[in-house]
A and B are shown apart, each in its own frame.
Chain A
Amino acid sequence: MLEQMFDGLMLALDPISVLAVGIGVVVGILIGAIPGLTTTMGMAIFVPFTFFLPPLVGLPFLIGLYKGGIYGGSIPAILINAPGTGAAIATVFDGYELAKQGRAGSALKVALFSSSIGDTLSDIITIMLAQSVVSIALLVGKPELFSILIFSLAIISTMTGASVAKGLLAASFGLMLSTVGTDIGGRWRFAFGNSDLAGGFSLITLLIGLFAFATIIERVLESKKADEKQREIFKISKEDKLRWPEFRKCIPHILRSTGIGSFIGLVPAVGQPVAAFLGYSCAKRFSKEPEKFGKGSLEGVAGPEACNNAVNGPTLLPLMAFGIPGDMVTAVLLGALIVQGLRPGPGLFRNYGDIMYGVLMSMMVANVFMFIFGYIFAGLFSKIARINSKYLIPVVFALAIVGSYAVNNNVFDVAVMIFFGFVGFLLNRFDIPLAPMVITFLLGHGVENSLIQSLILFKGNPLGFFERPFCMTLLISAALIIFAPGLYHWYKRIKAF
Chain B
Amino acid sequence: MKDQLRRKVKLNRIAALICLIVGLIYYILIYFQASPREVPGAKGFGRLTGRFFPQLGGGIFILSAAFLLLKSFFNEKFIKKTDDSDMLKSMLDRNEAVIGMSRSEFIASASITVVGLVYAGLLPFLGYLMATIFAVLVLSRGMGNRNWLYLFILAVVIPSIINYVFISVLYVPLPRGFLSFLFE
B60/A451 in contact, CB under 8 A: no
Contact among B52, B109, B120 for A414, CB-based, below 8 A: B120
- Known contacts A163-B96, A183-B35; A430/B11 CB under 8 A: yes
B54/A421 in contact, CB under 8 A: no
Contact among B50, B84, B105, B110 for A185, CB-based, below 8 A: B50
A168 to B65, CA, bound (A): 9
B162/A220 in contact, CB under 8 A: no
Contact among B53, B108, B110, B174 for A220, CB-based, below 8 A: B108
A288 at the interface (CB under 8 A from B): no
A391/B150 in contact, CB under 8 A: yes
Contact among B15, B140, B173 for A409, CB-based, below 8 A: B173
- Known contacts A411-B120, A497-B81; A393/B143 CB under 8 A: yes
Contact among B58, B64, B94, B172 for A406, CB-based, below 8 A: B172
When C-beta atoms are compared, the residue in chain B nearest to A445 turns out to be B53
Which residues on A sit within 8 Å (CB–CB) of B98? 429-431
A342 at the interface (CB under 8 A from B): no
B-contacting residues, A454-473, CB 8 Å: 455-456, 459-460
- Known contacts A189-B34, A391-B145, A456-B45; A401/B132 CB under 8 A: yes
When C-beta atoms are compared, the residue in chain B nearest to A189 turns out to be B34
A192 at the interface (CB under 8 A from B): yes
Q: Mark B85-118, 1 if CB is under 8 A from A, else 0.
A: 0010000001111111100010011101100110
A338 to B148, CA, bound (A): 42
B19/A429 in contact, CB under 8 A: no
A414 to B118, CA, bound (A): 11
A397 at the interface (CB under 8 A from B): yes
Contact among B61, B112, B120 for A415, CB-based, below 8 A: B120
A493 at the interface (CB under 8 A from B): yes
Q: How far is the CB of B45 from chain A (nearest CB, A)?
A: 3
A256 to B11, CA, bound (A): 42
Q: How far is the CB of A458 from chain B (nearest CB, A)?
A: 9
- Known contacts A189-B50, A398-B162, A402-B162; A220/B142 CB under 8 A: yes
A455/B158 in contact, CB under 8 A: no
B112/A220 in contact, CB under 8 A: yes
When C-beta atoms are compared, the residue in chain B nearest to A451 turns out to be B53
Tell me if A's interface is mostly helix, strand, loop or mixed.
helix
A187 to B36, CA, bound (A): 10
- Known contacts A185-B50, A493-B78; A411/B174 CB under 8 A: no
A399 to B19, CA, bound (A): 31
B166 at the interface (CB under 8 A from A): yes
Q: How far is the CB of B10 from chain A (nearest CB, A)?
A: 12
Question: Interface size of A by Cβ–Cβ distance < 8 Å?
Answer: 71
A176 at the interface (CB under 8 A from B): yes
A390 to B142, CA, bound (A): 10
B95/A163 in contact, CB under 8 A: yes
When C-beta atoms are compared, the residue in chain A nearest to B14 turns out to be A430
B108/A411 in contact, CB under 8 A: no
A428 at the interface (CB under 8 A from B): yes
B35/A425 in contact, CB under 8 A: no
A219 to B65, CA, bound (A): 29
- Known contacts A415-B117, A432-B15; A459/B45 CB under 8 A: yes
Q: Mark A350-391, 1 if CB is under 8 A from B, else 0.
A: 000000000000000000000000000000000000000011
A-B contact count (CB 8 A): 222
A162/B87 in contact, CB under 8 A: no
Which residues on B sit within 8 Å (CB–CB) of A171? 60
Which residues on B sit within 8 Å (CB–CB) of A394? 136, 139-140, 143, 145, 154-155, 158
- Known contacts A185-B39, A190-B34, A390-B143; A179/B150 CB under 8 A: no
A136 at the interface (CB under 8 A from B): no
B29 at the interface (CB under 8 A from A): yes
A394 to B132, CA, bound (A): 10
B42 at the interface (CB under 8 A from A): yes
B144/A390 in contact, CB under 8 A: yes
- Known contacts A172-B57, A405-B128; A183/B46 CB under 8 A: no
Q: How far is the CB of B64 from chain A (nearest CB, A)?
A: 4
A217/B61 in contact, CB under 8 A: no
- Known contacts A394-B154, A430-B11, A460-B45; A185/B37 CB under 8 A: yes
A52/B54 in contact, CB under 8 A: no
Q: How far is the CB of B9 from chain A (nearest CB, A)?
A: 12
Contact among A168, A190, A221 for B33, CB-based, below 8 A: A190
A213/B116 in contact, CB under 8 A: yes
A452 to B56, CA, bound (A): 12
A165/B68 in contact, CB under 8 A: yes
Which residues on B sit within 8 Å (CB–CB) of A418? 113, 116-117, 119-120
B96/A431 in contact, CB under 8 A: yes
Which residues on A sit within 8 Å (CB–CB) of B124? 411
A187 to B51, CA, bound (A): 11
Q: How far is the CB of A496 from chain B (nearest CB, A)?
A: 6
A220/B41 in contact, CB under 8 A: no
A183/B39 in contact, CB under 8 A: yes
Which residues on A sit within 8 Å (CB–CB) of B42? 452, 455-456, 460
A242 to B105, CA, bound (A): 46
The 11 sampled A-B contact pairs (Cβ below 8 Å) are A162-B96, A169-B19, A179-B53, A179-B57, A184-B53, A187-B35, A220-B112, A394-B145, A401-B119, A431-B98, A452-B42
Which 7 A-B residue pairings sit nearest by Cβ, starting from the closest? A460-B45, A175-B57, A183-B50, A172-B61, A418-B116, A172-B60, A163-B95
Apart from A401-B123, A411-B175, A444-B57, list 19 A-B contacts with CB within 8 A: A165-B64, A165-B68, A166-B64, A172-B58, A176-B26, A176-B57, A189-B35, A190-B29, A220-B112, A223-B143, A391-B154, A415-B120, A419-B113, A421-B116, A429-B105, A431-B96, A431-B98, A456-B48, A497-B78
**Chain B contact residues, CB within 8 Å of chain A:** 11-12, 14-15, 19, 26, 29, 33-35, 37-42, 44-48, 50, 52-54, 56-58, 60-61, 64-65, 67-68, 71, 78, 81-82, 84, 87, 94-101, 105, 108-110, 112-113, 116-117, 119-121, 123-124, 128, 132, 135-136, 139-140, 142-145, 150, 154-155, 158-159, 162-163, 166, 170-175
